[in-house]
Structure 1
Amino acid sequence: MNVFNPAQFRAQFPALQDAGVYLDSAATALKPEAVVEATRQFYSLSARKRPIAASLPKPNA
């Protein structure tokens, strides 16, 4: 039987690594390290490699 270990659970959340108390609200959410890393990889691998201006429509002159 696995017993809940709060220290292991807290270790998954970077914002909880310091000794302070984090009071979350409806506007924010704590994210586990796995989610933070997956989001970082998504944005670093799927970022556009060309200037955004090149993909904008040309104005009618």
Structure 2
Amino acid sequence: MKQIKQTEDYVIYQKRTGRYAVRDPREKRWINGEAKETILRTEQLIPAAGATRQTERAD
């Protein structure tokens, strides 16, 4: 895994598959669920809720 960003509260890693992992360095536990989603959205690594990509079709 490649380390993307490190703060006092968490470390963000990017896996080979392109997915992200978030770890708490103090407790050495992985952060999951809504807390992980909030962190990744704050760092703008995943799109905000409700923001969907719209593709235009050329007819």
Q: Please indicate the TM-score interval, normalised by the length of the shorter structure.
A: under 0.3
- Structure 1 or 2, whichever has the larger Rg, is 1
Higher strand share: 2
Higher helix share: 1
Normalised TM-score (structure 1): 0.24
Normalised TM-score (structure 2): 0.24
Higher normalized contact order (CA 8 Å, seq sep 6+, divided by chain length): 1
